[in-house]
Amino acid sequence: MKLFKKKNYIRINPPEAVSVPMEETPSIPDGLWVKCKHCDKTIYTKEINEYKICPNCGYHFRLTAKERIALICDEGSFEEWDTDMKAKNPMQYPDYDKIIQKAQQKTELNDAVVTGCCKIGGYDTVLAVMDSHFMMASMGSVVGEKITRAIERGTKKKLPVIIFTASGGARMQEGIISLMQMAKTSSALQRHAGAGLLYVSVMTDPTTGGVSASFASLGDIILSEPGATIGFAGRRVIEGTINEKLPDEFQTAEFQLEHGFLDKIVPRTELKNTLIQILKLHCQKEACENG
Amino acid sequence: MDNKAMEIVKKSRMVSRPTTLEFIEQIFTDFIELHGDRHFADDKAMVGGIAMLENQPVTVIGVQKGHTIEENVKRSFGSPNPEGYRKQLRLMKQAEKFHRPVILFVNTSGAYCGVGAEERGQGEAIARNLIEMAGLKVPIISIFIGEGGSGGALALALADKVWMLDNGMYAVLSPEGFASILWRSPERSADAAELMKLTAPDLLKNGVIEEMIPEAKEGLAENLEYTTAILKEMLVSQLQQLQALSTEQLLEQRYQRFRKYGEFTE
Ligand SMILES: [Zn+2]
C-alpha cells in the first residue's frame, strides 16, 4: 500500500460534532457492511479507505495505533521503541494479569501506547500513539513509562515530539502509581520544553481524565480531529452532579476549540500535511539527526 | 462493615477535621491571604497567601473545606475549579520570583466536576500546574491533611517532599468510585479502600510519601497544636536542607522523585 504518493483522497467537509459513549469502540469491524454509529447508515466497507471516515456523514472512526502510524509516518520510516514492555500488578488487583492478557490478544499490543521515531514529510520526529482498543487506553505504568522515555529521547536527540492522545483516564487497576504517571510525563515535557523543542499534541477520540490533565493539554500546538470527545470529568459524572442531560456538543473537539483549548481541528485526511507544515515551521530537516 | 482503611477514609473526610486555614494559623505568623487567578474569579475552594515560618517568608496555599454546609457550599466542598488551580499557579510563580519556598496543604476529594469547570479547562489547569511545578525553582513541600483524590490532589503534590497526617489518604479516585466503576458495586467501597493502599503507612511503604505526621490520641481537632508543633519543626528543618541545594540539584531531585514511579517488565 502506497500512502500519500499522490493526494488521491477526497476532501470531506468537517462533520458535525458527535459524541460516542465511552464503552463503545466505534472501530470498523470486519465484514462487507458496517453501520455508522453516527449517522446510522449502512456502508459498504470498500467505501471506507485507510482514513476510516464515514463516506456519508464524515464521522471519524477510531483508529488502531498501527493504522495511525501508517497514515502519519513516511512509509517504512517508523522504528518502534520499548516493544517488550508489559504491565505488572502493583496493587495486586484481582485478575489484572488476565485482563491485560485479554487486551493483548485482542489488540496484538503489549499495552495502550506505541512509541518510536519516524520521519514525517522527511522530518525526524519522536512519535507516540495511544490505542483506545487496549483497555480504553487507560494510563498505567507502561503507558507512562513509554511516553516518558519517548519524550526523554526526544530531548536528548533534540527532536520534536508528537503524541496522538486517546484515553479514558487513569489505569485504576494500578492504583496510585497510575496517578503518578501524570506527574512523570509532565516532568519529562518540562525538560523537553526547556530545551526549546517542539511538542505537538493531537487529541483523538476520546481524550479524557488524567491524560487530558497532563501531557495531552501541554502541547505547544494542540490539534484534534472532528467530533473527538475531549474533557476532564466524565459526561455522566457531571450529568449526575447537575441532574440534567448535557447537549451532544459538550466535550467535543468543537466545544474545546470554541472555549480556547485547541489550536485547530484537522480532518484526518489533512492531518499529515498539517503536521508536516508545523514541522517545517519549527525544524530543519538536516538539524534533526536520526539515530 | 468498615475495615481499617475505610475507617481512615471516613476520618479524613470528617467535617470537624481542621482545615487548611486552621493549619496556617497555627504554624505561621503574619499570614496575608491573596485572592484571585487574575483571569476569571476567586475560587474559595483554594486559599493562599504569604506568611512567615519562623524567620522566613513562605508562600502557603491549600484546598479549603468548611465545617458547616453553608461554608462547604461556598468552598465547593473542597473541590477546586480551574480558577482555583490557576490561583495556586499564580501564587507559586510569585513565590518563585521572590525566592520563597512553597508549602501546600492538600485536602480534596478531587477537582470540581461541572459544566463551567469543563468550559474553563479543568484538564488544562491541572496539567499546567504539573509542568510548572516540575520546573519551579524554589522548594515545594506538600502536606496531605485530609482527603487526597485524583488529579485534583496531584495538582498540589508535584513536590520535593510529600507528607501526610496519620489519618490522611491519597488515591487515584475515591474507593466508592473505584468500587462502582470497576466492580459496579458501590457497596464494596470498603474492599476497594483496603485494596487501593491509600493510607499513610501504605503510601510510605510504596514511596509515594516521605513522612507521616502524627495526630494526637484524643483526635486531630481536639489537639491540633500537638500536630502543628511537630509539623512546624519538620518544615523548618526540611526547608533548611532543600534550600542548601543548588537549583539544578533541587530540580534534578524532584525529577527523579517522580521518574521512579512505575512497575513493568521488559
Ligand atoms: Zn456516518
**pLDDT value at residue A178:** 98
What is the rounded (10 degree) CA torsion for A138, A173, A250, A50? 30
Dihedral sign of CA atoms A186, A192, A194, A199 in order: negative
Q: What separation in Å is there between the alpha carbon of A35 and the centre of ligand 1?
A: 8
Cβ atoms of B130 and A214 closer than 8 Å = yes
Q: Three cell numbers at B95?
A: 513565590
Task: Name residue A253's amino acid.
Answer: A
Q: Could you give the CA distance from residue B142 to residue A45 in angstroms, rounded to a whole number?
A: 54
Average pLDDT over chain A reads 89
Residue A4 has pLDDT above 50, yes or no: no
**pLDDT value at residue A28:** 61
| Nearest one of A147, A70, A149 to A111, comparing CA atoms | A147
Average pLDDT over chain B reads 97
Cβ atoms of A167 and A211 closer than 8 Å = yes
**pLDDT value at residue A29:** 59
- Alpha-carbon distance values, A270 to A227, A275, B160 (Å): 15, 9, 43
Residue A118 has pLDDT above 60, yes or no: yes
The enclosing H or E element of B242 equals helix B224-243
**b vs e for B3-33, b when ≥16 Cβ sit within 10 Å of the residue's Cβ?**
eebbebbebbbeeebbbbbbbbeebbeebee
Q: What's the pLDDT tens digit per position in A51-81?
A: 999 999 999 999 999 999 999 999 999 999 9
Q: Could you give the CA distance from residue B108 to residue A259 in angstroms, rounded to a whole number?
A: 26
Residue A200 has pLDDT above 70, yes or no: yes
**pLDDT value at residue A45:** 81
In which region does residue A236 sit, left (phi positive, over 0), alpha (psi from -120 to 50) or beta (all else)?
alpha
Q: CA gyration radius for chain B?
A: 18
Those of residues 165-224 in A touching chain B at CB distance below 8 A are 170, 172-184, 186-187, 189-191, 193-194, 209-210, 212-218
**pLDDT value at residue A30:** 61
Q: Could you give the CA distance from residue B178 to residue B186 in angstroms, rounded to a whole number?
A: 8
Of A22-31, A232-241, B106-115, the range with the highest mean pLDDT is B106-115
- Alpha-carbon distance values, A79 to A42, A74, A148, B22 (Å): 37, 11, 17, 55
Domains of chain A by residue range: 30-61, 62-290
The enclosing H or E element of A149 equals helix A141-156
Q: Three cell numbers at A252?
A: 467535543
Q: Pick from A171, A190, A249 the residue to mutate for testing the B interface (most B CBs within 10 Å).
A: A190
Give this complex's ipTM. 0.98
Q: Three cell numbers at A166?
A: 486517546
Residue A15 has pLDDT above 90, yes or no: no
Share of chain B above pLDDT 90, in %: 99
B172: nearest CB among A179, A232, A259: A179
Q: Could you give the CA distance from residue A224 to residue A252 in angstroms, rounded to a whole number?
A: 10
Residue with grid cell 458501590, as numbered in its chain: B186
Helices and strands of chain B, counted as H and E runs: 12, 8
Residue of A nearest to B207 (CA): A177
Residue of B nearest to A85 (CA): B266
- Rounded (10°) angle between helices B175-182 and B4-13: 120
Q: What's the pLDDT tens digit per position in B154-195?
A: 999 999 999 999 999 999 999 999 999 999 998 999 999 999
Test B262 with A215 for CB contact under 8 angstroms.
Answer: no
**pLDDT value at residue A103:** 97
Q: What's the pLDDT tens digit per position in A217-276?
A: 999 999 999 999 999 998 988 998 888 899 999 999 999 999 999 999 999 999 999 999
Residue with grid cell 477537582, as numbered in its chain: B111
Q: Three cell numbers at B248?
A: 539544578
Q: What's the pLDDT tens digit per position in B211-231?
A: 999 999 999 999 999 999 999
**pLDDT value at residue A21:** 39
**pLDDT value at residue B183:** 93
Residue B42 has pLDDT above 60, yes or no: yes
Q: What separation in Å is there between the alpha carbon of A15 and the centre of ligand 1?
A: 9
Q: What count of other Cβ atoms lies within 10 Å of the Cβ of residue B97? A: 10
- Rounded (10°) angle between helices B247-259 and B122-135: 130
Residue with grid cell 499557579, as numbered in its chain: B89
pLDDT band at A26 (very low <50, low <70, confident <90, very high): low
Architecture of domain B4-256: Alpha-Beta Complex (3.90)
Q: Three cell numbers at B158?
A: 508535584
Q: What separation in Å is there between the alpha carbon of A50 and the centre of ligand 1?
A: 16
Point out which residues pair with A124 in neighbouring strands: A119
Q: What separation in Å is there between the alpha carbon of A134 and the centre of ligand 1?
A: 24
**pLDDT value at residue A35:** 85
Share of chain B above pLDDT 70, in %: 100
B154: nearest CB among A85, A90, A183: A183
pLDDT band at A17 (very low <50, low <70, confident <90, very high): very low
| Sequence-ordered list of residues with C-beta below 8 angstroms from that of A270, at least 6 positions apart, any chain | none
Q: Could you give the CA distance from residue A139 to residue A141 in angstroms, rounded to a whole number?
A: 7
Taking the domain A62-290, which CATH number applies? 3.90.226.10
Residue A2 has pLDDT above 50, yes or no: no
Preceding amide of B139 cis, omega within 30: no
Q: Could you give the CA distance from residue A167 to residue A209 in angstroms, rounded to a whole number?
A: 7
Residue A290 has pLDDT above 60, yes or no: no
Point out which residues pair with B171 in neighbouring strands: B149
Q: Could you give the CA distance from residue B55 to residue A68 in angstroms, rounded to a whole number?
A: 57
**Mean pLDDT within A155-168:** 98
**b vs e for A176-192, b when ≥16 Cβ sit within 10 Å of the residue's Cβ?**
bbbbbbbbbbbbbbbbb
Q: Three cell numbers at B170?
A: 491519597
Residue A170 has pLDDT above 50, yes or no: yes
Q: Could you give the CA distance from residue A62 to residue A128 in angstroms, rounded to a whole number?
A: 16
Residue A8 has pLDDT above 60, yes or no: no
**pLDDT value at residue A237:** 87
Task: Name residue A93's amino acid.
Answer: Y
**pLDDT value at residue A241:** 82
Q: Could you give the CA distance from residue A34 to residue B137 in angstroms, rounded to a whole number?
A: 55
Question: Does residue B210 or residue A32 have the better pLDDT?
Answer: B210
